[in-house]
A = this chain, B = another copy of it.
Amino acid sequence: MLGKQSIQFLNKPYIISSGSIVGHKEAEGPMGQLFDKVGYDDMFGAQNWEDAESSLQKEALEIALSKAGLQKQELQMVFAGDLLGQSIASSFGLAGYQSPHVGLYGACSTCGLSLSMGGMAVAGAFAEKAACITSSHFASAEKEFRFPLAYGNQRPMSATWTVTGSGAFILSAQPGREVRAVMEGVTIGKIVDYGIRDSMNMGACMAPAAADTIRQSLEDFGRTPGDYDKIITGDLGKVGQKLLFDLLAEMGIDIVKQHMDCGIEIFDSEKQDTNAGGSGCGCSAVMLSAYILKKLEEGVWKRVLFVPTGALLSKTSFNEGQTIPGIAHAVILEHYVKP
C-alpha cells in the first residue's frame, strides 16, 4: 500500500487490448467514429433491455479477445459488473465464456474497480491474463433506477443520459502483440456521503467522492495535477464538474487545465438533448477503450489519472429516503515505450 489508499504496482500490468460497443445515440455523438461496433437497434437482437445489455458485454469481450489474438480459454479471471440489480447483465452476458468470474459492484465506478482488481490479480502474479468488463444501457437503467420509459417523464437539466455501451479490457503480465497502455497504480476509493438525495442530479452525488479520490491519489503518489496530462472523471456531467472544481479548490487543488469528463465528451448535449451529459458504467468504459487508450497509445498523452465515479443508490434505498453516497476509484495509466 502506498500512502493511505493507493497501490503502486512493482510489476506493472499491460492493457494489451480493448473493445467497445455502443448504441445508436452514442454513435451519433462526437466520438461516434471511434467505437469498435455500433448497434443501430438498441435491442441488439435481444427480447428485453436487460438481455440487450448482456449482449453488449458478450460482444465487447469478443472484440477485445479477437484484437489480442486470444482464445477465451486463455483468460484466467474475468472481473465484471454493471448497474442492474444482482448484476444480471454481467452474469448472463459472460456465463458463456466459462472463465473464473469475479462479480463487482461499484455503480458507475465499476470500470475503475474492475481495472483495480484485475490489476492486482495480474501484478500479484495470481493471473497471467485477466479481462475487465462493464456495461450500461439507457433503457435498462431508467427502468432500474427511475421510471419506465413508457411514462415519458420530463428530465431536469441536472439529469444525465445513461450511455448504452460496454467496454472490455485485457490485462496481461507481459506485453501482447500490442500494448494500449501500462497500469502504474490505483487508488481505491472510500464511500463519500454528502447527504444528497436527488436521483436526477447524480453529478452532485458523485463529485465529493471524485474530489476525495483525486486528492488522496495525488497525496499518496506525491504528485500535483501537473504531473498528469489528463485527469479524467467518469460521468460527473456539467453540474458535477463544477462542483468538483469547487471542492478541490477548497483543498487548494486546481485541476481545471487537466480535467476531462467522459460524460461531457461522449454526447453533444445541445444537439443530442442529453442535458448534463452521459453517465453509466458504460460511459467511462467505452471512452477509455475508444478515446483515452488511443491517445495514450499514440503518445499524445504520457500519463493519465482515470477516475470513474459511481452513485451508490438503489430504487429501494431512494424510495426509503436514503441519501445517495458516491464512490470513485482511480487508475493511473501510462504511455508504453517499447524497450
Contacts and interface: CB of A to CB of B under 8 A. Distances in A.
Interface of A: 1, 5, 7, 47-48, 50-51, 76-77, 81, 83-88, 91-92, 94-95, 98-107, 113, 116-117, 120-121, 123-128, 144, 188-191, 193, 312-317, 320, 322, 325, 327
A95 B316 contact: no
Given A50-B316, A314-B88, A104 B107 contact: no
Contact of A312 (B86, B105, B126): B86
A5 B126 CA distance: 10
A104 B103 contact: yes
Question: In the complex this chain forms, how many copies of it are found?
Answer: 2
Nearest to A127: B1
Given A91-B191, A322-B92, A120 B126 contact: yes
B91 A325 contact: yes
A211 B327 CA distance: 36
A45 to B, nearest CB: 15
A14 B101 CA distance: 24
A124 B113 contact: no
Given A77-B188, A113-B103, A317-B50, A312 B1 contact: no
A143 to B, nearest CB: 8
Contacts of A189: 100-101
A98 B48 contact: no
Nearest to A187: B100
A124 B124 contact: yes
B188 A92 contact: no
B85 A316 contact: yes
A86 B83 CA distance: 7
Nearest to A145: B86
B113 A120 contact: no
Contacts of A48: 320
A59 to B, nearest CB: 17
A99 B7 CA distance: 14
Contact of A105 (B103, B188, B327): B103
